[in-house]
Structure 1
Amino acid sequence: MLRRPLVLFTICWLLGSCAAAGLESRGVLLAGGSLAAAWLAMLLRQRTAWPLAVSCLLAFGIAAGERVWVDSHNVSSLPEILISAGPGTTTSYEAEVTGAISSSVEIDGDRVQFRMTANDVRLTGEQAVRDISGESLLVQVRLAAQTELALAARWQRGERISIAGELTQPTEATNFGGFDYRRYLKSQRIHWLFKASGAASLHTSAGARFSMASMLSRIDAMRTALGNRMDALYPGEQSGYMKGLVLGISDDLDPDRFRQFSQLGLTHILAISGLHVAVFLYVLSGLLRLLRMTRERMLLLMIVAVPFYVLLAGASPSVMRAGIMAMLGLAAARMDKLKDGLHLLAAAALIMLAWDPYMLSNVGFQLSFLVTAGLILGVPPVRRWLPSGPRTKALFDLITVTIVAQAISFPLTVYYFNQFHLLSLLANFVLVPFISFIVMPLGGASLILDAIWHPAGSLLAMAAILGNKLTFGFVLKLSQIQSFRMIWATPSLIWVLCMYTAIAVSLTTLRSAFNRRHLVPNEQGLEYDSNNELQGSPLSAQSQSLQASDLTETQPLDRTEPIPFISPYSSEGAYKPNIIIRRLLPLFCLLILVIPLLWAYYPDWKDNDAYVSFLDVGQGDSILIRTSSGKHILIDGGGSVVFRKPGDEWRERRDPFEVGQKVVVPLLQQRGVHAIDLLVLSHLDSDHIKGLTAVLKQIPVKRILWNGTYKPSPDAQSVLQTAVENHIPLYRAEGGLSWKMDEHATIELIGAAPDTTINQTAFIPTVKEQNGQSVALLLHLYDRTFILTGDADKAEEDFLLSQFQRLHPEQQQNKSIDVLKVSHHGSKTSSSEAWLAYWHPNMAVISVGRNNLYGHPNTNVLERLETSGTQVKRTDLNGEVQFRISEKNQLQMRQKVVNN
């Protein structure tokens, strides 16, 4: 590695940028001092030269300084008075903004979204215009009528606009571990959302004719034209798939299909990357050879063509990395100074991070560079341990690349996506070559030929369509095998570093052991021999002075040349590897990988505390419970009610926000919920169970407890039907029953709901009004008690009290319960004085949406809670509210949003 100064320089640059991004000033100084001490030790041992050490320390300092400078300037131009108090307080300002469209315009249903570079803003009620030149805003326009779609389609990047609407801040994460939209947009230098209603609120005019924005606008037009041609060649969802595969246009990709690919770790296929750039350059070089162009001129034209392809493919981090590496490689080849791939990779990373240090936090950037570096360094040592016969070489080459790529991407996959499918290796082994070398070239060729002669393009498209059908069927079959899908809690960054250290140690061990297998002693030195036979060429003194770690991994080994390696063995006889050591070596490599894997898969195996988390799902309920033994109970899954008028189907978005898919499932996965031991449906209203369809499809559920009724609604039908299809047993809640989850966790059903509206002749009675049929239960964790009653109204509360007292005549409620979940989001029809007086809760949690249309929670309910001496927490103000019960029966509470 010391013979790769550019690689070391880039690594130190990365360290400096990471330190400045994640540490305070003292931490950055400490990290820099540690790095300086390490280089000083290497200088004292004469393992490096001082120019390299100084350069690398400068790289650390420059990168850290650049990140600090960028962070200090990444602020809004608007005054502090406009900043909202936080996610619990939604602040908006009516305003008019002028500027220019600075991104492509995305149309999804009735929403149009684009970035704009603002020049000035005038708040309603103010006469003065505020100068905010250079401020980036994310504009979202909700169209008022279907006829406005055509008007929005004509908006282009580079046009000047004047728009009236509402200026708001992006939301922060309101659940522990939830997605922080404000932080995400800040990494793109966006601090404000601007929401407008109707296309009439926006007025456009022509922008500068010769500018970067106008040039990119032409690229957008070309991408749109190519996408329209794909729509004509491929039917339905195949069009969206092929546009993503060939052009990098992912807007029309079917969300369910993408999730299937994601579960199997195949999303990298849909991202334009090095393979696409390689195919593009291969085709271009073939065309240039037909024109009998000289090598130098051909390389120059290819260098010029790469940026155009990068822009045409969407300029994602992966394609930018591949494009920069290609340009550097072509330039080096033109100067006859082509270095190994690791140098090119380091140069590409250095250029991208120097241009934008926020690239470091981009998941695509991280995966692209780590996997590429892993393939460069990891494929050679792994491949040497596999057979290399002429008939099986290609097969084992593919096996090696697949294994190494999966191993390198695994830690980041677990860290960001919390899942890994055991059949991912098989899926990648089969589909990567099939799609990369058959389907993708057919798609590109069909697009080109269609422009020349439509019948030829259609013929190739038919072949690609058949290939896509095989791909979709194969992916669907594998993704449906849920028993091979593993859910991982979000690990710490220390674990990620440990995993990559273990992988590096394994690869180094394999490489070192292989080299020793092929060394035999000689009076003049040691030589490489695949058959363990003595060769005649002695090693030079210069070769003997090199270390094994200095070998260039990307260069194939020449078996007629000596390997520069210092052997610890004497020259009295040939070294014969101990067969026991050779057999135990893979076991050793496996062991150092398995230990951190078990650590990550069972992160809380020694945690005997119990947890109750009231998740923030907006205007709905969702409660996650973890018992002391690690069992999980989920009560409800949230869900938003959508009111759609006839004829408004055009408003439907490709992947609409659904709280189960976007909030509940990710939170369960992040917390390592491998399975739900008990799923409780308090009742069948949509705001409680709509999100559970996604939960049932992605998280194994062992059993369901529900109120024993049926509601004629699509959401209720979807949940119950999914449960039946997954063969999940359903239990009817009845008063007086109890469910012992483990030694310290018990569920006690308070009582059954009044049955006056139930048709007793039906096996599963149909009940339209479900609030009064809510499942009410007492949850006992250690010696702490929670009462959870769904949306029970006053009538059900009175009934439950009478039935509970009838079932427990000997029990008088003198002791206060610990936590009450306020029924029906704090509606005035619940939490009566008699109910609060009987249970006398110490704390209460209201699950309610921000700025909801129902006026929840009701002021009378809040007054009754205050009068009873109950401390109140609300998800609209406090975000997720979480309770922890320790082995010593101590009750601790924390909230995601702390209001001043």
Structure 2
Amino acid sequence: MRVKRPLCTALFIWAAVIWLLGRAGIPFFTCSPPKLAGQVKGENILATGIVYQKDVYDTITNLYLKKANLIIQEEQHPTERIKLTMDNKALSGLTEQGDFIAVYGKLEEIPEGANPGQFNERAYYYARNIKWYMEGEEMQLLQRGKNQMLSFQGRVKEKMRGGIQKAFGEEKGGIMEAMILGEKENLGQENKLLFQIMGISHILAISGTHLSVLGWGFYKILLKCQLPIKASCLISAAVMIFYGELTGSQAAAVRAVLMFGVSVGAMLLKRTYDFLSALSLAAVFLLAESPLYLYDSSFLLSFGAVFGLAAVYPVLFPPERKKYRKNLRGKIQRELKNGIFSSLSVWSILLPVTMYFFYEISTWGFLVNLLILPTTGILLVSGLAGGILGLLPVVLPGKAGALPGIILLELYLRGGEIIQELPASLWITGRPELWQCAVYYGMLAGTLWIKKIRTDRKVSGKWTQMVQVIVLGVGIVLLFIRFPEGELKVTFLDVGQGDCACIQKGRESCYLIDGGSSSVSKAGQYRILPFLKEQGIRKVDGIFLSHMDEDHINGILELLEMTAKRETGLKIQRIFLSRSRETEETQQRIKEAGEKAGCEVLYIGRGDRIRDGKLEMTCLSPKNENMESNEGSQVIWAEMEEFSMLFTGDVEGRGEEELLALCRETNIQCDILKVAHHGSKNSTSEEFLDIVSPQAAVISCGRNNLYGHPHQELMERLKKKGIFVFETKNRGAISAVWKKEKIQVSFQY
């Protein structure tokens, strides 16, 4: 009998409406900044609000405010939530959840991702109704515990954190805080990476699994205590709601609470519980509150996983008549088979989502999940028991409750270290195009439809099954194909006050020129590496380092360190340096880091050439190793057929004079010039521009930098020559593609 599910239909219609209204530019359905931005952007103002979340770090504290008001020229402007950052020294007393506060500081728009692949802060926070960043200077407590429920939840959370730390210790306590309370301040980057490599990062987030274990476990305990079914249901639902709010009301938690509520309601009313309808109701509820969840990875992963179990599993793996033995062996066989089928069902839905948002997959994740998922229930119960018993003045009960969890976490971490040493533990896939994801899901839907029809009609056929497998296999292969944008592509990344350019020759090879920043922390980890992964780049053929200033090399050092520690699937083959007596010590540091990462370190000077098919890169400078660091910058002239680019590092003074003479003698010109020294007035002279005659110039510098880059005198020289000028601080990443003898330039924003 065909089951009608109007809520599923309503969900698809609502999702389509959200997408169409977003495409139409309706503000509520887009990431457009609030209209108030023009009046207060970058200005110091007064704001008030209730603290609903507090994250404490070594030097700063992040306070999240709801029911916020911006007070501008003595007028109140209600706004949505605000993320407030305060220096710990400036905090006046102890501010806790539920407090009503006033704060004076600078209001800022939440930035978009400045580069392809970079984390989009605006999209993430807008989906959670947080519309402003604020750098607080002064704060005043207006009313302690104005929201009593939030205050109570905050006290419970702090007590639980103390109990967990007491029972589990510092390292494992940080992991359990993330799993039980959603607090990740003490998780540790190394542990987070190990869970990512194993493909089990999902257990570090508050998910439906957590709440299901808690809700149904608590319900069974109440029944065993002889409470009536109705009372057990209502109390369990109340506990679920409280725990969901305690852990931050994340999308997965809200979904689990709503679905649990629907299940309990169906039980009390003696109605049939439909899994897909309950899932659709939860999705409609969340998307009605915040339409931007439609584009949020955590929302899609949470609902996608459950959808895979509810819709794919029963069709792809229908129930069998085969009966397993009731002994231990039969139980293990049954559970193993169910685990494999469940993982495949979830994986079939989440693969495109994972690739689209994270650009890499754990190659061993499928097998690891088969082993670890059956133990997560034990881990959660142990975590709760350890946290609660850890509140007792005696240490032993908490340690006893935490013991199973400690053993399991130790096995997880040691297993992660072993997997980290295996080849290709993380596989960089790149981001598939939306049409590739759509085609894959279309093929999956078609396969499931045919499978269901044949199952209903009890028709079998090996050829049909083979065709289904082939179709699904083609869809999966299609997801991994990356089509080149052109014959040659160069991207000037926005790394703040610094330099980084990436040259890609089709899908064949990739070269980086510099990579560092003096204004952005960990530019290598959070800007350069995400870009490379998003582009599907697993191997960098060479890195050219113009000179040894930190704003040109510190990001590259991060990449080398991560590669050496196997924290990324990226491989780096060569590093090209130019000798400089002034910076020998720093060059030695680069050389040692490169050797640890398995790189070949080569030294190049004027006249040296690197050929890669039709792409040729010539070193024009330095002529000798006795120059000052900036003057002796490595200058690379890259050309392919009729297209050429000139990368000038920070060359100036005597170095630019020698470069100018060489370009005049050899008639070197370029289509695109990477302006030297971030647009300093002391480089890129008018005579130099006359000789190299670029059509376009790119200036890599940070917003509101301390040096005033790009300098007005330089901008006037470029304007006078009629050169198109693009600045990373205004445009984000700047890409130029050479295709069919034409140059196509695009920007991040």
With the length of structure 1 as denominator, give the TM-score of the two structures.
Answer: 0.75
1:271 corresponds, among 205, 227, 232, to: 205
Distance 1:853 1:20, change over 3 A: same
Cα distance in 2 for partners of 1:21, 1:177 equals 25
Distance 1:457 1:709, change over 3 A: farther
- How far has the Cα of 1:222 moved from its partner? 0.9
Distance 1:20 1:208, change over 3 A: farther
Q: Does 1:859 align with 2:712?
A: yes
1:593 corresponds, among 462, 472, 475, to: 472
Distance 1:667 1:820, change over 3 A: same
- How far has the Cα of 1:408 moved from its partner? 1.7
Choose 267-276 or 589-598, whichever is displaced more: 589-598
Q: Does 1:96 align with 2:46?
A: yes
Select the structure of larger CA radius of gyration: 1
Q: Does 1:485 align with 2:426?
A: yes
Q: Does 1:704 align with 2:575?
A: yes
Distance 1:232 1:780, change over 3 A: same
**What does residue range 443-482 of structure 1 map to in structure 2 within 5 Å?**
443-452=383-392, 454-482=395-423
Distance 1:493 1:890, change over 3 A: closer
Cα distance in 2 for partners of 1:329, 1:501 equals 31
Q: Does the residue aligned with 1:420 lie in a helix, a strand or coil?
A: strand
- How far has the Cα of 1:7 moved from its partner? 4.1
**Quick check: 2:517–2:555 contact (8 Å CA) kept in 1?**
yes
- How far has the Cα of 1:117 moved from its partner? 4.5
Q: Does 1:231 align with 2:171?
A: no
- Letter of the 1:431 partner, please give it: I
- How far has the Cα of 1:327 moved from its partner? 1.6
**What does residue range 233-272 of structure 1 map to in structure 2 within 5 Å?**
233-272=167-206
CA RMSD, aligned part only? 3.1
**What does residue range 229-378 of structure 1 map to in structure 2 within 5 Å?**
229-378=163-312
1:203 corresponds, among 116, 133, 140, to: 140
- Letter of the 1:726 partner, please give it: A
- How far has the Cα of 1:717 moved from its partner? 6.9
Percent identity between the two aligned chains:
23
Q: Does the residue aligned with 1:104 lie in a helix, a strand or coil?
A: strand
Aligned counterpart, 1:626? 504
- Letter of the 1:330 partner, please give it: V
**1:518-557 C-alpha deviation (Å, 9 max, x unpaired):** xxxxxxxxxxxxxxxxxxxxxxxxxxxxxx3xxxxxxxxx
Cα distance in 2 for partners of 1:718, 1:511 equals 61
Aligned counterpart, 1:4? 4
Distance 1:875 1:675, change over 3 A: same
Distance 1:671 1:13, change over 3 A: same
- Greater strand percent: which structure? 2
**Quick check: 1:734–1:751 contact (8 Å CA) kept in 2?**
yes
Cα distance in 1 for partners of 2:278, 2:124 equals 29
Aligned counterpart, 2:382? 442
**What does residue range 705-744 of structure 1 map to in structure 2 within 5 Å?**
705-708=576-579, 719-742=590-613, 744=614
Aligned counterpart, 1:638? 516
Distance 1:3 1:218, change over 3 A: same
**1:585-643 C-alpha deviation (Å, 9 max, x unpaired):** 554333223323333322215x543111111111000101112464211112223369x
Q: Does the residue aligned with 2:226 lie in a helix, a strand or coil?
A: coil
Q: Does 1:892 align with 2:719?
A: no
Distance 1:75 1:830, change over 3 A: closer
- How far has the Cα of 1:869 moved from its partner? 4.5
- How far has the Cα of 1:388 moved from its partner? 6.1
**1:769-804 C-alpha deviation (Å, 9 max, x unpaired):** 6333422111002212211121222222234455x4
Distance 1:785 1:76, change over 3 A: closer
**Quick check: 2:104–2:139 contact (8 Å CA) kept in 1?**
yes
Q: Does 1:667 align with 2:537?
A: no
**Quick check: 2:213–2:377 contact (8 Å CA) kept in 1?**
no
Q: Does 1:132 align with 2:77?
A: yes
Distance 1:287 1:860, change over 3 A: same
**1:842-895 C-alpha deviation (Å, 9 max, x unpaired):** 3222111111112222333334434455333222233322222123x2223333
**Quick check: 1:619–1:852 contact (8 Å CA) kept in 2?**
yes
**What does residue range 552-567 of structure 1 map to in structure 2 within 5 Å?**
565=457
**1:728-784 C-alpha deviation (Å, 9 max, x unpaired):** 111111221211111x21111114442237xxxxxxxxxxx6333422111002212
Gaps of 5+ in 2: none
Q: Does 1:836 align with 2:714?
A: no
Distance 1:586 1:473, change over 3 A: farther
1:110 corresponds, among 56, 59, 83, to: 59
Aligned counterpart, 1:604? 483
Cα distance in 2 for partners of 1:864, 1:135 equals 45
Cα distance in 2 for partners of 1:181, 1:714 equals 38
**Quick check: 2:591–2:601 contact (8 Å CA) kept in 1?**
no
Cα distance in 1 for partners of 2:550, 2:246 equals 43
Aligned length: 734
**Quick check: 2:510–2:539 contact (8 Å CA) kept in 1?**
yes
**What does residue range 36-51 of structure 1 map to in structure 2 within 5 Å?**
none
Distance 1:592 1:640, change over 3 A: farther
**Quick check: 2:548–2:583 contact (8 Å CA) kept in 1?**
no
- Letter of the 2:512 partner, please give it: L
Aligned counterpart, 1:497? 438
Q: Does the residue aligned with 1:690 lie in a helix, a strand or coil?
A: helix
Q: Does the residue aligned with 1:626 lie in a helix, a strand or coil?
A: strand
- Letter of the 2:599 partner, please give it: I
Distance 1:297 1:177, change over 3 A: closer
Aligned counterpart, 1:777? 636
**Quick check: 2:46–2:103 contact (8 Å CA) kept in 1?**
yes
Q: Does 1:428 align with 2:369?
A: yes
Q: Does the residue aligned with 1:303 lie in a helix, a strand or coil?
A: helix
Cα distance in 1 for partners of 2:739, 2:435 equals 26
**1:477-530 C-alpha deviation (Å, 9 max, x unpaired):** 3234352532223223332222222223333444455x3xxxxxxxxxxxxxxx
Cα distance in 1 for partners of 2:644, 2:182 equals 53
Distance 1:362 1:868, change over 3 A: closer
Aligned counterpart, 1:88? none
**Quick check: 1:237–1:253 contact (8 Å CA) kept in 2?**
yes
- Letter of the 2:140 partner, please give it: H
Q: Does 1:142 align with 2:87?
A: yes
Cα distance in 2 for partners of 1:658, 1:674 equals 20
With the length of structure 2 as denominator, give the TM-score of the two structures.
Answer: 0.90
Cα distance in 2 for partners of 1:224, 1:429 equals 34
**Quick check: 1:76–1:135 contact (8 Å CA) kept in 2?**
no
Cα distance in 2 for partners of 1:820, 1:404 equals 51
Aligned counterpart, 1:572? none
Cα distance in 2 for partners of 1:828, 1:357 equals 47
**Quick check: 1:105–1:156 contact (8 Å CA) kept in 2?**
yes
**Quick check: 1:157–1:214 contact (8 Å CA) kept in 2?**
no
Choose 354-363 or 670-679, whichever is displaced more: 354-363
Q: Does the residue aligned with 2:746 lie in a helix, a strand or coil?
A: strand
- Letter of the 2:618 partner, please give it: E
2:670 corresponds, among 811, 814, 817, to: 817
Cα distance in 1 for partners of 2:660, 2:12 equals 67
Q: Does 1:187 align with 2:187?
A: no
Q: Does the residue aligned with 1:92 lie in a helix, a strand or coil?
A: coil
**Quick check: 1:100–1:158 contact (8 Å CA) kept in 2?**
no
Aligned counterpart, 1:530? none
Aligned counterpart, 1:747? 617
- Letter of the 2:10 partner, please give it: T
**Quick check: 1:819–1:845 contact (8 Å CA) kept in 2?**
yes
